[in-house]
Amino acid sequence: MAVLYFGNQPDPNVTEYVVGPLPTPAYHRDVTVQKYGGKVPYHRRPVTGKEYMDINTLIQRELGKAPRFLAACCESNGTDLAILTTAPRGFKSGDRTTWFVLFHGVAGTGYYLSPVGLEVLVEHGDLVASHWQLRQVFYNGRYFSSMRDLEDAFVANLLEVVRIEKPWAEAVLGSMRLRHQPGSPGLLQYEPQGPRYSIRDNRVTFQGWSITFGMNPNSGPRLFDIRYRGERIIYELSLQEALALYGSNCPGGMSTRYLDGSFGIGRFAYELVRGLDCPYTATYMDRHYLAESETPKTNQNSLCIFEHDAALPLRRHFSDSHSFYYGGLRKNTLVIRTVSTLINYDYIWDFMFHGSGAVEVRVHATGYISSSFLHGQGTNYGNRVGPHTLGTMHLHHIHYKVDLDVDGQLNSLETQDMEYELVKDPWSMQNTIERPYLRRERLEREDEAAFPLNGPMPRYVSFASPKPNKWGHPRSYRIQISSFAGEHLPTSSPMERSISWGRYQLAVTRRKEEEPTSSSIYNQNDPWTPTVAFADFIDNETITSKDLVAWISVGFLHVPHAEDVPNTVTVGNGVGFFLRPYNYFNEDPSVDSPDSVYFSGEEDAGACGANPLACLPAAAACAPHLPPFRCGGFLH
């Protein structure tokens, strides 16, 4: 797929082409009308690097009109200030007017925690950059029509200025520079006899699992044709969108609703640091994309694959009655991971494949919080985390597409939950007992299968095959969500339809070729007339014995606090979901694992032949051969 900007046509537009076959294309076909019903208006296009450069030039020129103010407030002439974009860009379709927030920029550390209190509104919708204008200025709770007006107010002593010293790198708030000398290297995970997974091109196999992996430069990681023991479980498992929605009493913060797909979740998945982002001995893969260039770009080592020992039994039992034995299995998991750095935040995307036949999808948020300048009633919107820094409240909402094919493409959606029934005790009729029972239901239509965010949902929701297992139950996979999402944007908001996928923690729809994604890169800059509105996917069609797709939202409310400096930690900031076999097999498939352990009281548990764990001292006696540490640098 190629996306082209045509700004010099009589009707400026964005056009999409299917190009193929790769790697030596011989044809291209315009699919814009087919996908969107018409050309994409030019104002919806994502902002390019060149556009940001032109905006920065404009802002620097305007800052030069207030030299005395900048010297007094920030010990700056403006050229050393960092500029952060917000989005969306206005209030109605056709707008391209953006608030930019200014920070003290210090090399080698995150500037996001050092706002100077100055924000500027730039109108940059005209096709000629020289026609762009600075429309408003905000400083410390007040609005001005221009930088010159701000300067005049300062000179006339009509402006309350908060004087902020220019920070120095070693002491700036949020510095990640080392404070102590390195200690011992700590634990190291390695494979004593080499990796137990194998990779060929973009397909990985591991203990019955087979997965094709890839990366969309816009929407990020995506997996296809996920099979277990030769049977396809999932046709597509892909990230769709990541929303960060902020609150503040500053204009930049209060108007920010980042849709990260527009910036490039996959594009900004950079090189992973060996031994920290992933285990030292993981396999690291390059990812390639084409954007704003005539030649492909490579993010080297930006995806990793490894086997992970969770230091937890997958299952175990110690028998000390009737007979004496021990049986169990380590919880070893195949992990596919990538990390996207989207301005200040780093999202760690994990896809995990368990020996029980379960798939686990998880995202952790880390990196820097975004902040506003603390003034007035700022703590209504977060916590103070620095001398003049407000850590602004925000919510993260993440959307996934899961195209399950459970024992074939034709599935139904079944739910189970518990209720109590009051019955008389059969053995003591004068007494009663509250007996739990299962309430089973098959959902017939899409409207029934759209579960509102933070609303009630049956505890068991499964994609069910019409074929039974050995015990007569439909072969199924259960969807189990782990999330503590904030509140969705009110539906009365004029931009809500662009993120209407966030209305639902789970929505199940008929699979359609014309509904491939729940969001669009064009939704960010025109959320008022969204190019893709997920709410339209739910049109109450029947979902019994059909090819179905599960759309899953996870997320969390984040109120930044002192411990988010310098970075938000991953502990407690992870959400996701499981896809678990539910009567899909006749028993737990992990019983066939060669890693299983069993020994009884009649056996010598220390003998290698009786217990695989007893073989480890010999198998792992030698230190691993580790490849040298390398980092490709920061040029992308």
What is the residue type of 255?
A: S
CA trace torsion 495, 500, 503, 506 (10° rounding): -160
The separation between CA 185 and the C-alpha centre of its own chain, rounded to angstroms, equals: 30
Asked about 286 being catalytic, the answer comes back as no
Structural domain 201-307+331-368+394-558+568-587, CATH architecture: Distorted Sandwich (2.70)
pLDDT digits (tens, 9 = 90+) for 24-42: 999 999 999 999 999 999 9
Q: What is the pLDDT of residue 404?
A: 99
Instruction: Yes or no: say if 351 and 236 are a contact pair by the CB < 8 Å rule.
Output: no
Secondary-structure breakdown of the chain: helix, strand, coil percentages, each rounded to the nearest 5: 15, 45, 40
Q: What is the pLDDT of residue 622?
A: 60
Gap between the Cα atoms of 273 and 184, Å rounded:
19
Question: How many helical (H) and strand (E) elements, i.e. helices and strands, does the chain have?
Answer: 7, 33
486-491: long-range contacts at Cβ-Cβ below 8 A with a sequence spacing of 24 or more?
486/245, 486/395, 486/397, 486/555, 486/556, 486/557, 487/395, 487/453, 487/454, 487/557, 488/397, 488/453, 488/454, 489/245, 489/257
Q: What is the pLDDT of residue 107?
A: 85
> Which residues share a beta bridge with 337?
304, 350
Q: What is the pLDDT of residue 236?
A: 99
If one looks up domain 2-44 in CATH, what number appears?
Answer: 3.10.450.40
Residue 1 has pLDDT above 90, yes or no: no
The owner of tokens 């300067």 is 151
564: three-class secondary structure by DSSP: helix
511/38: higher pLDDT: 511
Among residues 191, 196, 552, which one has the least CA distance to residue 355?
A: 196
In the predicted model, what is the mean pLDDT of residues 325-331? 94
What proportion of the chain, given as a percentage, has pLDDT over 90? Answer: 87
In the predicted model, what is the mean pLDDT of residues 320-340? 94
Q: What is the pLDDT of residue 574?
A: 98
Gap between the Cα atoms of 210 and 200, Å rounded:
11
Confidence of residue 621 (pLDDT cuts 50, 70, 90): low
For the chain, the average pLDDT equals 95
606/76: higher pLDDT: 76
Q: What is the pLDDT of residue 635?
A: 57
The owner of tokens 């390019």 is 48
Confidence of residue 617 (pLDDT cuts 50, 70, 90): confident
> Which residues share a beta bridge with 330?
313
Q: What is the pLDDT of residue 482?
A: 97
Catalytic residue among 42, 139, 228, 260: 260
pLDDT digits (tens, 9 = 90+) for 383-405: 999 999 999 999 999 999 999 99
pLDDT digits (tens, 9 = 90+) for 410-451: 999 999 999 999 999 999 999 999 999 999 999 999 999 999
Gap between the Cα atoms of 2 and 30, Å rounded:
9
Domain coordinates in residue numbering, the chain: 2-44, 201-307+331-368+394-558+568-587
- Backbone dihedral angles phi then psi of residue 35, each to the nearest 5 degrees: -80, -40
> Which residues share a beta bridge with 397?
243, 555
In the predicted model, what is the mean pLDDT of residues 598-621? 78
In the predicted model, what is the mean pLDDT of residues 343-361? 98
In the predicted model, what is the mean pLDDT of residues 563-586? 98
Catalytic residue among 345, 381, 477, 504: 345
Among residues 608, 602, 630, which one has the least CA distance to residue 621?
A: 608
Asked about 345 being catalytic, the answer comes back as yes
In the predicted model, what is the mean pLDDT of residues 225-238? 98
Q: What is the pLDDT of residue 633?
A: 66
Instruction: Yes or no: say if 279 and 245 are a contact pair by the CB < 8 Å rule.
Output: no
Gap between the Cα atoms of 31 and 11, Å rounded:
18
131/628: higher pLDDT: 131
Task: Mention every residue, 6+ apart, whose C-beta is less than 8 A from residue 34.
Answer: none
Confidence of residue 630 (pLDDT cuts 50, 70, 90): confident
